[in-house]
A and B are shown apart, each in its own frame.
Chain A
Amino acid sequence: MGEPITIFKRPASLRDAFTHYCPGCTHGVIHRLIAETLDELGLRERTIGIAPVGCSVLAYNYFYCDFQEAAHGRAPALATGIKRVLPDRIVFTYQGDGDLASIGTAEIVHAANRGEKFTTIFVNNAIYGMTGGQMAPTTMPNQVTTTCPRGRDVNLAGWPLPVADLLAQLRTPSYVERVAVHTPRHIIQAKRAIRQAFQYQAERRCYSFVEVLSTCPTNWGKTPAEACQWLDEVMVPYFKLGLKKSPDRPPVE
Chain B
Amino acid sequence: MAKKLMKGNEAIGEAAIVAGAQAYFCYPITPQTEVAEYLAKRMPEVGGVFVQAESELAASQMIFGAAAAGARVFTTSSSPGISLMSEAMSYIAAAELPAVFINIIRCGPGLGGILPSQGDYLQATKGGGHGDYRFLVLAPSTIQETVDLTIEAFRLADKYRNPVMLIGDGLIGQMMEPVDFEGRTAPPRLDTSGWATTGCAGREPHIVKTLFLDPNVLEQRNRKMRDKYEQMKREEVRFETYLCDDAPELLVAAYGTTARVVRTAVDRLREEGVKVGMFRPISVFPFPDEPLRQQALVPSVKAVLVVEMSMGQMLEDVERALQGRRPLHFFGRGGGNVPAPEELVRECRRLLGNGQGGR
Contacts and interface: CB of A to CB of B under 8 A. Distances in A.
B30 interface: yes
A105 B54 contact: yes
Contacts, number: 48
Given A57-B111, A71-B80, A134-B37, A103 B54 contact: yes
Given A69-B111, A146-B40, A137 B54 contact: yes
Contacts of A148: 40, 52
B80 A72 contact: yes
Nearest to B50: A147
Contacts of B36: 134, 147
A239 B125 CA distance: 46
Nearest to A135: B52
Contacts of A69: 111
B43 to A, nearest CB: 11
B54 A131 contact: no
A23 interface: no
Q: Chain A, interface size: which category?
A: 20 to 34
B55 A103 contact: yes
B109 to A, nearest CB: 11
Contacts of A73: 55
B81 to A, nearest CB: 8
A60 B7 CA distance: 34
Contacts of B30: 130-132
Contacts of B110: 71
A72 B111 CA distance: 9
A221 to B, nearest CB: 15
Contacts of A132: 30, 33
A128 interface: yes
Given A73-B55, A102-B54, A105-B54, A128 B80 contact: no
A77 interface: no
A146 B33 CA distance: 10
Interface in A45-81: 53, 57, 69, 71-73
A80 to B, nearest CB: 19
Per DSSP, chain A at the interface is loop
Contacts of B56: 103
Interface string B287-322: 000000000000000000000000000000000000
B111 A149 contact: no
A93 to B, nearest CB: 16
B40 A147 contact: yes
Given A103-B27, A128-B28, A147 B111 contact: no
A127 to B, nearest CB: 11
Interface string B26-69: 01111001001100110000000000101111000000000000
Contacts of A131: 28-30, 33
Max count, chain A CB within 10 A of own CB: residue among B33, B36, B54: B54
B28 A147 contact: yes
B31 to A, nearest CB: 10
Interface in B55-110: 55-57, 80, 110
Max count, chain B CB within 10 A of own CB: residue among A73, A128, A134, A148: A134
Interface in A124-176: 128, 130-132, 134-135, 137, 146-149, 157
A14 B204 CA distance: 66
A175 to B, nearest CB: 26
Contacts of A157: 52
Nearest to B54: A102
B80 A147 contact: no
A57 B111 CA distance: 10
Contacts of A53: 111
B57 to A, nearest CB: 8
A71 to B, nearest CB: 7
28 contacts: A53-B111, A69-B111, A71-B80, A71-B111, A72-B55, A102-B54, A102-B55, A103-B54, A103-B55, A103-B56, A103-B57, A105-B54, A130-B30, A131-B28, A131-B29, A131-B30, A131-B33, A134-B33, A134-B36, A134-B52, A135-B52, A137-B54, A146-B37, A146-B40, A147-B28, A148-B52, A149-B41, A157-B52
Given A102-B27, A147-B37, 20 more contacts: A53-B111, A57-B111, A69-B111, A71-B110, A71-B111, A73-B55, A103-B27, A103-B54, A103-B57, A130-B30, A131-B29, A131-B30, A131-B33, A134-B28, A134-B52, A137-B54, A146-B37, A147-B40, A148-B40, A148-B52
Interface of B: 27-30, 33, 36-37, 40-41, 52, 54-57, 80, 110-111
